[in-house]
Chain A
Amino acid sequence: MSSLKTRLRGFAAAVLLSLTLAGCGYNAIPTYEEQAKAKWADVQNNYQRRADLIPNLVATVQGFAKQEQTVLTAVVEARAKATQVKIDVSQLSDPEKLKQFQDAQNQLSGALGRLLAVSENYPELKSNQNFLALQSQLEGTENRIAVARRDYIEAVRVYNTSLRTFPGILWAATFFRANKPMAEFTASEGASTPPQVKF
């Protein structure tokens, strides 16, 4: 009888302990960390999606504007470079790495912008159905990138705040010593407003 009682007491203590830990925000840090990582995966996926659209776009433009070889090569090269820079989730606390990624992607954005500007000069290209579809897909992807970046910035803010504020700061100093604040994605100009692809 009494052994059952102590057993129950032990179980109750275990439940209480886990509830107390949860109540004290023990879960917050890993939760926010996972969320931020998931948001990063979204960011990277959307950039990848953009990179996937480019070969098709380049091929279409080439069909109408062969003489724009320099602009086209610039896009192809920038794409190759941008797809090489990948960030593993464990590297998110490294601002240098994040900056590399961002620079490579910005370069691709610039090259793409020039390509689209140049294509304005080719009326036949501009009315090509394939080109129009690609253009709207590209526009949509740029918008998705903007949304994914915004979500990531917000998730990182929440995570970093939890590391620096009470009660998270206590856990960060004890159990989660290995958890470093993640690098802030500087919202570059044009990130909050998706680039307008004019028709």
Chain B
Amino acid sequence: MAASAVAAARTARRLVLAGLMLAAAAALAAAANYPALTGRVVDGANVIPADARGALTARLADLEAKSGIQLVVATVTSLEGQEIEPYANELFRAWGLGQKTKNNGVLLLVAPNERRVRIEVGYGLEGTLTDALSKVIIVNAITPRFKAGDFGGGVSRGVDDIITVLTTDASEWQARPSLRLDSRKDNDSRIALALMIFFVIMLVVFSLPVVRQHFAGPPQHGRRRSHDGGWTMGGESPSTGGSSFSSSDFGGGGGFSGGGGSSGGGGASGSW
């Protein structure tokens, strides 16, 4: 009696603990509120002149039409007390820049008040727009103009250079994006095949007369399952393994939205 009470108390404590952990995670997720992805140029800090913004948007749309790469420029009034690196990474993921299967997105983030700038590169483009190249672009094209207060010019030149890097070496980046994704796609088809085989086996097994007799009533199902869980484990477990991998819920607006791509922190940052 007492033992069961203790066990119940322990379970309750565990549940409370788990609840707290979930609440903490929810708080963490809601800690920073990110601007909405309203277009290819999200000028939250309002530092890019309107005409430059229009020209940029046209060039970025052209880039995506030609190569599928989603390059987005964002300026924010505040990094919410974070460093620019984690902020840029989380913003990139929240927006889901780049195609989900290729992760070919790039985010150029400017925080004028913190005097920080970052090029955040999606997984699929890390091999082309390397950290060193991103740094070179920031140091040579962007920060000197920012220093002079020319945000429109700095962003334009930065975008030009990024596009140059991304498009001149076409054979390179066409070969690269598959690095991460093909393996996953491969996985998916293997899972589909495994599931199909599983169902065919089930069909055969259940049409065998012996098994059919054995499985006459519902109570036996439960008994058999508790006897050996082996057959359910084999085919079942991987079925959701590949699909739930990346969270691609993102709020897009104005006819433009991210494709669900992700980034692992590639790129470079600078300050002026």
Q: Which residues of A contact B (CB under 8 A)?
A: 6-7, 10-11, 13-15, 17-18, 21-22, 26-27, 30-31, 34-35, 42, 132-133, 136-137, 139-141, 143-144, 146-148, 150-151, 154, 157, 161, 164-166, 169, 174-175, 192-194, 199
Contact = CB atoms under 8 A, between A and B. Distances in A.
A49 B222 CA distance: 50
Interface string B217-238: 0000100010001001101111
Interface string B195-208: 00001001101110
Contacts of A161: 18, 21-22
B144 interface: no
B232 A18 contact: yes
B266 interface: yes
Q: Which 5 A-B pairs have the closest CB atoms?
A: A140-B131, A10-B206, A147-B265, A136-B135, A30-B237
Contact of B85 (A148, A165, A175, A194): A194
B240 A136 contact: no
A143 B89 CA distance: 10
A194 B88 CA distance: 13
Contacts of B130: 137, 140
A105 B126 CA distance: 24
A26 B241 CA distance: 12
Nearest to A29: B237
Interface residues of B, number: 48
Interface in B237-272: 237-241, 244-245, 263-269
Given A11-B203, A31-B244, A194-B85, A175 B233 contact: yes
A30 B132 contact: no
Given A10-B207, A13-B215, A31 B240 contact: yes
A49 B237 CA distance: 32
A140 B268 contact: yes
A22 B236 contact: yes
Interface hub of B14, B131, B238 (most chain A Cβ within 10 A): B131
Contacts of B135: 132-133, 136, 139
B267 A140 contact: yes
Contact of A164 (B14, B211, B215, B241): B14
A136 B205 CA distance: 60
A53 to B, nearest CB: 10
A25 B211 CA distance: 27
Given A136-B268, A193-B83, A31 B18 contact: no
A9 B203 CA distance: 11
10 contacts: A6-B212, A10-B207, A14-B203, A30-B241, A136-B132, A139-B269, A140-B130, A140-B266, A140-B267, A169-B14
